[in-house]
Chain A
């Protein structure tokens, strides 16, 4: 059965995972869990799930990894960096909103965006 603790576990896994694909899948699982727990938010969450799905299929995450995973982040031009960063930040915001739904503010876990800084 769905539970708040399971929702929180999924969000913790989202925070600690390193793979973009896995992160997105965990976020979608957390949304599915929240939809079961909060039927009043179902429509909004369903809309959010669709947007996350779009993010998962529309971005070339292999390109992302080829920068972030191999120390070539600096090679990404500013325009593309801010596109990636904007999208990742938005997904983090959604995770934070789910934490809020789960009854507490985001725990002290690293944001995805914190992992990638173009200095």
Chain B
């Protein structure tokens, strides 16, 4: 793909993300104004679940190489980091990318630090070593933060609604011997301390 086409693709995805975030913000405003019901009934839940589906579409743009479960955890982690401390989040962001790289990404980790098409185009011209594929874009931290803030609002509401109306799950441990697993982890911890 030519550099200009790549820049256009990046720009288009950022535009889509911006639209989605506006959607999120609009819905949050409706929630705050009481125009969308958040009571634990099917109608309110459906509105939120429809909205969550939109957000999950956005996650696919952010993390196309991950499974849906991994994407969910990745976003949760970003949300938690941001919620705790914006500075810590930003300080750790390179580590997140690096960890993703360690987990087996075959591409060079890449973060879009630019918000204008011209800047993106210039960056790609200056850094031809990046094999940038527009479908594997890592978002600007500010974009992810806005997304994360919206997600945590919606996600928390959904969790609360779901858990409040659900009985406690019976199957607490899946196919695992929790005692044995704990013992193995304790032993490894001890061996690491002895290094």
Chain A residues with a Cβ under 8 A of chain B: 2, 6, 9-10, 12-13, 16-19, 21-22, 24-26, 28-29, 32-33, 35-36, 38, 40-41, 44-45, 47-48, 51-52, 54-60, 62-67, 69-70, 72, 75, 80, 83-84, 86-87, 89-91, 93-94, 96-98, 100-101
Contact = CB atoms under 8 A, between A and B. Distances in A.
Contacts of A89: 182, 186
SS class of chain B's interface: helix, strand, loop or mixed?
helix
B74 interface: yes
Nearest to A26: B77
A29 B96 contact: yes
Interface string B55-80: 00000000000000000111011011
Interface in B150-191: 159, 163-164, 166, 168-169, 171-176, 178-179, 181-186, 188-191
The 4 closest A-B pairs by CB, nearest first: A58-B176, A90-B185, A86-B182, A83-B178
A15 to B, nearest CB: 10
Contacts of A51: 181, 184-185, 188
Interface residues of B, number: 46
A50 to B, nearest CB: 10
Contacts of B91: 6, 9
A118 B183 CA distance: 21
26 contacts: A2-B95, A9-B92, A17-B80, A19-B76, A19-B80, A22-B79, A24-B73, A29-B96, A32-B102, A32-B103, A33-B95, A33-B98, A33-B99, A36-B98, A38-B195, A40-B195, A44-B195, A51-B181, A60-B172, A63-B169, A83-B182, A86-B179, A87-B181, A90-B185, A91-B185, A97-B188
